[in-house]
């Protein structure tokens, strides 16, 4: 799991800025203060690896993002000779046979500079890797701290796999330790549902799913994924109802729970067409998506992503509250908390107090602990760009910074003089 991210010289973050992460992290706060930039630091890594798993280039325009030229991602106040830094901290424990555990902790700091031959990519200049391996069956631990000058490293005929030097995997990590490391820093397994999701369609063209099955950033592959993986079994912790534990049935069960009524059906034909049919009640009738509330279609890729995500993967959801009634927002947040309890690291960008309060209730209900929930408020105050909001085991927040979900109180004061 990623425990924190540090960014420097990237977009609005010139000074080194720390983002503490939890098993579930809520990003909220003032518009234009860097919430999306934090998420983009992960998505840039994913789309670069998708482009070429052995690349030493950060691809700025790809399957997830289109950020333009290098000058557009380098902080405007940063000198051209200074790199952009992405520093990822991780901590992962795995249980082996007979109660033995292996824990790996550390960080990987990436230094990116302008590529003089192609301004649509960034060149990986240097990688600093720090780590500590500890086994419960061995009293001592092993540590490593290495810096790789990428140009020199590649000239020595060494290779990089998924932005990690193969040398560190071969010399410092062996057998199952490599598996633990990749689960701790798994950029290639990031599910991402953007705020800009596609609306209802009359039909969906059949498509081959990508190597890493996902719904697509706009949810455009959701129906194809449901059709192809409909019989896949989902995690026991997410199982609802008394019917099958398959993806298609559990998608329907969760939609039904969130909306108090839902039916889902995906059908194919002899042609290259898929049809999605929905119902907002328990009747046997089916309707095209355009004739059902817009919220059903907006929430579908989020539910499917949560159900197919595997332990060690990351799920990023932007504005899950879009087009949803407050109760549905609350139920969806509880679903995402459940997903995080399955070992999936969840990051949510939201402006909804219903999402916030549902996550606090998830702490009260022991779906996740207060230590597993990180709430980051992106402030407008100089010197306080990111504030981690403390929450206790009863879901209470003692200190509410100015601007942090306080608009209702301010409006009531104006309306009623209280």
Residue-wise pLDDT tens for the chain (418 aa)? Answer: 999 999 999 999 999 999 999 999 999 998 888 999 999 999 999 999 999 999 999 999 999 999 999 999 999 999 999 999 999 999 988 777 777 788 889 999 999 999 999 999 999 999 999 988 887 766 667 788 999 999 999 999 999 989 999 888 777 666 556 666 777 788 999 999 999 999 888 899 999 999 999 999 999 999 999 999 999 999 999 999 999 999 999 999 999 999 988 889 999 877 899 999 998 876 777 888 888 878 888 999 999 999 999 999 999 999 999 999 999 999 999 999 999 999 999 999 999 999 999 999 999 999 999 999 999 999 876 556 899 999 999 999 988 888 888 777 777 777 787 6
- Whether 77 is in a domain gets the answer yes
Q: How many CB atoms lie within 10 A of CB 79?
A: 8
Q: Are residues 184 and 212 in the same domain?
A: no
Q: Are residues 50 and 134 in the same domain?
A: yes
Q: Can you give the pLDDT at residue 134?
A: 84
Sign of CA dihedral 390, 396, 401, 404: positive
Phi, psi (deg, nearest 5) at residue 142:
-115, 145
Pairing of strands 386-389, 373-378: antiparallel
Q: Are residues 34 and 156 in the same domain?
A: yes
Q: Can you give the pLDDT at residue 166?
A: 87
- Whether 72 is in a domain gets the answer yes
- Whether 356 is in a domain gets the answer no
Q: How many CB atoms lie within 10 A of CB 263?
A: 19
Q: Are residues 62 and 114 in the same domain?
A: yes
- The DSSP annotation for 49-94 comes to HHH-TT--EEESBSSS-B--SHHHHB-TTS-TTSPEEEEEEEEEEE
Q: Are residues 92 and 15 in the same domain?
A: yes
Q: Can you give the pLDDT at residue 179?
A: 66
Residues in contact with 99: Cβ distance below 8 Å, sequence separation at least 6, in sequence order? 136
Residues in contact with 182: Cβ distance below 8 Å, sequence separation at least 6, in sequence order? 162
| Helices and strands: H and E segment counts in the chain | 11, 18
| CATH number, domain containing residue 166 | 3.40.50
Residue 231, classed as helix, strand or coil, is: coil
- The DSSP annotation for 127-142 comes to EEEEEEEEETTSSSEE
Q: Are residues 201 and 179 in the same domain?
A: no
Domain that holds residue 69: 2-188
Count of structural domains within the chain:
2
Which 8-state DSSP code applies to residue 376? E
Q: Are residues 255 and 295 in the same domain?
A: yes
Residues in contact with 148: Cβ distance below 8 Å, sequence separation at least 6, in sequence order? 126, 127, 128, 129, 165, 167, 168
Q: Are residues 98 and 77 in the same domain?
A: yes
Q: Are residues 285 and 151 in the same domain?
A: no
Q: Can you give the pLDDT at residue 406?
A: 79
Is the separation of the CB atoms in 328 and 301 below 8 Å? Answer: no
């Amino acid at each position: 799991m990623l425990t924190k991210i540090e960014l420097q010289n990237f977009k609005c973050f010139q000074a080194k800025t720390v983002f503490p992460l939890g098993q579930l992290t809520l990003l909220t706060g003032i518009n234009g203060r860097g919430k999306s930039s934090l998420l983009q630091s992960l998505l840039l890594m994913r789309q670069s690896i998708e482009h070429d798993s052995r690349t030493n280039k950060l691809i700025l325009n790809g399957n997830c993002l289109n950020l333009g030229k290098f000058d557009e991602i380098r902080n405007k106040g940063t000198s051209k000779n200074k790199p952009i830094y992405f520093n990822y901290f991780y901590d992962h424990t795995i249980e082996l046979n007979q109660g033995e555990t292996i824990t790996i902790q550390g960080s990987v700091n990436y230094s990116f500079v302008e590529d003089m031959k192609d301004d649509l990519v960034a060149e990986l200049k240097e990688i600093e890797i720090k780590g500590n391996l500890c086994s419960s069956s061995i009293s001592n631990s092993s540590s490593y701290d290495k810096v790789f000058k990428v140009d020199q490293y590649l000239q020595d005929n060494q290779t990089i796999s998924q932005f990690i030097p193969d040398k560190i995997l071969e010399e410092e990590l062996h057998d199952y330790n490599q598996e633990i490391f990749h689960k701790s820093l798994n950029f290639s397994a990031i599910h991402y549902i953007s705020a800009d999701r596609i609306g209802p369609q009359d039909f969906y063209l059949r498509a081959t799913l990508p190597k890493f099955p996902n719904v697509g950033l706009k949810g455009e592959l959701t129906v194809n994924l449901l059709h192809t993986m409909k019989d896949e079994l989902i995690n026991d912790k997410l199982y609802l109802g008394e019917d099958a534990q398959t993806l298609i049935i559990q998608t329907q069960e969760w939609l039904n729970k969130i909306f108090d009524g839902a039916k889902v059906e995906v059908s194919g034909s002899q042609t290259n067409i898929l049809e999605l049919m929905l119902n907002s009640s328990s009747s046997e009738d089916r309707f095209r998506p355009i004739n059902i509330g817009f919220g059903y279609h907006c929430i579908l890729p989020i539910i499917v992503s949560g159900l197919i995500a595997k332990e060690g993967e990351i799920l990023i959801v932007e504005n899950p509250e879009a087009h949803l009634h407050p109760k549905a927002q609350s139920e969806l947040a509880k679903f995402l908390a459940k997903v995080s309890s399955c070992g999936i690291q969840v990051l949510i960008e939201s402006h909804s107090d219903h999402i916030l309060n549902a996550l606090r209730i998830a702490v009260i209900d022991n779906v996740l602990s207060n230590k597993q929930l990180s709430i980051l408020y992106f402030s407008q105050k100089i010197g306080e760009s990111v504030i981690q909001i403390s929450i206790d085991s009863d879901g209470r927040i003692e200190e509410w910074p100015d601007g942090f979900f306080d608009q209702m109180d301010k409006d009531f004061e104006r309306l009623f003089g209280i």
